[in-house]
Amino acid sequence: MTQKTALITGVTGQDGAYLARLLLAKGYRVHGIKRRSSSFNTGRIDEIYQDPHDPDPKLTLHYGDLTDATNLIRIVQETQPDEIYNLAAQSHVQVSFETPEYTANADGIGTLRLLEAIRILGLEKKTRFYQASTSELYGLVQQVPQRETTPFYPRSPYAAAKLYAYWITVNYREAYGIHASNGILFNHESPLRGETFVTRKITRAAAAIAEGKQDVLYLGNLDAQRDWGHAREYAEGMWLMLQQDEGDDYVLATGETTRVRQFVEWAFEDAGIALDWRGSGADEEGRCRKTGALRVAIDPRYFRPTEVDLLIGDPAKARQKLGWEHRTPVRDLAREMVEADLALVRAGAGAGQSA
């Protein structure tokens, strides 16, 4: 079989790092797009990135940005990928309320730019396309569990941008016959999760508090419920979608939901810290109290203008058609993340409050 070539946008992110490892293990030649940054931003893939002077590199990085159409066209032209995985995004829901226009540009129009690159270059029959769609599309709860046929009701600029990306992917599949698929992925986490997403923020803080490097963890809505799976397993699902005869849309989820509050309790238990919830509410003026044994406090700064209260996905279609199944229970995921963060803190990294 001839060697396949994949192009991953967002290769420096959590999912990009797992997907790049998976594709390299399958013998792919992998190209990744990374953004120029004032300091190193390849920490998650340094282990798999070879010397760029290697005459036959398996992983090649290109500078680029989803807001730059000519750059994307050039990279697609140069790499002639069999598969494109569009994982790049301004992926933080709360940040999207602060940067709505940029989020729409990168997450919404960025997807269109890649699909247009495929079309402009005449690669409709060659290049398969994966779009990182999201359970945030479901937003305001209408029915649970959420599945492929559940109506969308986005509740943030991020989700609204991803709604456009979802439908433009469906449209290019129907209009131009591109093998294009949406993975509607529910939250997935890992030790590589960005530090400002709630699970990692919690596990980092639990580790730092256990090691005496942090006093209090400030959080927002503890009652939100999320369907949390392991990112490594979700990368396998992305790949499976592009191996099918036709493009289609699939939910990847565990089918179980957990409150943020419960995740905090597990993480603190795993870090060996006694947790006392009493007095953890914000006071009348919205300031946070920092008292004696208090370990977790509510900071209204982390409340969102509109919240997604409950996510619980039904992965039946992915199970039946892709043979995909999640394996790691959320309780084990929490433990794995705390252990990784404890190791980081002990090695002198990882402490500190994050947004």
DSSP calls for 18-70:
HHHHHHHHTT-EEEEEE---SS---TTTGGG---TT-SS-SEEEEE--TT-HH
* Cross-strand bridge partners of residue 84: 7, 129
Rank residues 112 and 273 by Cβ distance to ligand NDP and give the closer one.
112
Distance between CA atoms of 266 and 281, rounded to whole angstroms?
A: 20
Rank residues 48 and 273 by Cβ distance to ligand NDP and give the closer one.
48
Give 136's DSSP letter.
Answer: G
Active-site residue, 134 included: yes
Rank residues 128 and 295 by Cβ distance to ligand NDP and give the closer one.
128
Considering the rule CB under 6 A, would residue 261 count as an interface residue with ligand NDP? no
Given candidates 226, 295, 317, 335, which one binds ligand GDR under the rule CB under 6 A?
226
In three-state secondary structure terms, 9 is strand
Give 284's DSSP letter.
Answer: T
Residue nearest to ligand GDR (CB): 224
Considering the rule CB under 6 A, would residue 198 count as an interface residue with ligand NDP? no
Query: Scanning residues 264 to 293, which ones bind ligand GDR (CB under 6 A)?
Result: none
Q: What is the separation, in whole angstroms, between the first and last Cα of the chain?
A: 47
Kindly state the smallest distance separating residue 163's Cβ from ligand GDR, in Å.
Answer: 12
Contact partner, 12, from ligand GDR, ligand NDP, none, Cβ < 5-8 Å per class? ligand NDP
List the one residue out of 137, 160, 132, 159 whose CA is nearest residue 147. 137
Tokens linked to 51:
């010397």
Rank residues 102 and 126 by Cβ distance to ligand GDR and give the closer one.
102
Active-site residue, 67 included: no
List residues binding ligand NDP (CB under 6 A): 9-10, 12-16, 33, 35, 37, 41, 65-67, 87-91, 106, 132, 134, 185, 187-188, 194
Active site residues: 134, 136, 158
